[in-house]
Amino acid sequence: MKNFFAYHFRIKYRGMSLFPKGIFYGFLFFVFICKPHDCNCLAQTSQINWFWGTGLTFFDYKELLVLPKKSQERGWIPYIGMEYQELYPLNHIKLSQLIQMGYGKTLYDGSRMNSVTNEVSPLTGQTTHVFLNLETTFAFQLQHHAAMWEPYMGMGYHFWNRRLEGNVPFYEKYTWLCFPLGLRFQVMITPSLVWGGDFSFRPVAFGTMNLDRTLYGISSDIVFQLGNKAGWKAAFPIAWQQNFFILSITPWYAYSAIGESDRKRSVSGGLLGSVELVEPESSTHQYGVWIQFVLSH
């Protein structure tokens, strides 16, 4: 698995890499994984919808450190995205493929430690973030009167580029896989108005954090293997449909966490010197609103 994510395909925006290691393979996973319409076990007639969306997310990230050490990010991040859905009515199976990208800045409230005296002092600034989420899920639909239930499972890829400028900069790139397992439901309130819910348990695995060498004057990047944790997400969409047009508004909340990484010693020289480094355990709370529309056919 480590070699699987070995290649870099880079496009840069304001000096930040938007296509880090694994994005190429993530794209292949997103587009080509298990095409159900090529499987003889499914009905050949399907309904296809393309959703286009945008949203605003409040991002609250905190590393679990012993005071006075601290590292916290808080702020609003705008997102854009697209979702592909393919429904096989005769087999009650739905394929969903989602891509979302966010870019924004948050306030950093942290600390720095003098490597000689071990004195801890406050450090504040503004951090630039790039987020990319790819996710594929398969659901089985169960109809009961005016309600539709969809148990589902899937796989996702998450990328996070985090960069703080200033006298004590850092440049970190996170990636991990997630495996959502959840249940969606929707209830028809009127012929054109539908309300629903979406609850999922989201364990993660194969996480890495790459400490970029360019800001520190060291000879090579330092790659940490992150500890595995599990999160969850809840969403409550409400959709309005008129003829071939659908508009949905979804408030949501998500919790995620990262376990402490393995320990690495930086090479001598540069800003870091020869010290032992570790990515601490952290937790993230996010909430926001996602708005999307579709011209169905």
Instruction: State what percent of residues in the chain have pLDDT above 90.
Output: 49
What tens digit of pLDDT does each residue of 30-45 get? 544 445 445 554 445 6
- pTM listed for this prediction: 0.81
pLDDT value at 222 more than 80: yes
Name residue 31's amino acid: V
pLDDT value at 164 more than 90: no
Give dist(CA 97, CA 139) in Å, integer: 11
| Band of pLDDT at residue 199, cut at 50, 70 and 90 | very high
Give dist(CA 137, CA 16) in Å, integer: 30
CATH fold group of domain 46-295: Lipocalin (2.40.128)
Which residues have C-beta within 8 Å of that of residue 152, sequence separation ≥ 6? 94, 96, 137, 138, 139, 140, 180, 181, 182, 183, 184, 200
Give dist(CA 189, CA 195) in Å, integer: 7
Respond yes or no on whether the N-terminal peptide bond of residue 36 is cis (omega within 30° of 0).
Answer: no
Give dist(CA 200, CA 181) in Å, integer: 5
Task: Output 35 or 240, whichever has higher pLDDT.
Answer: 240
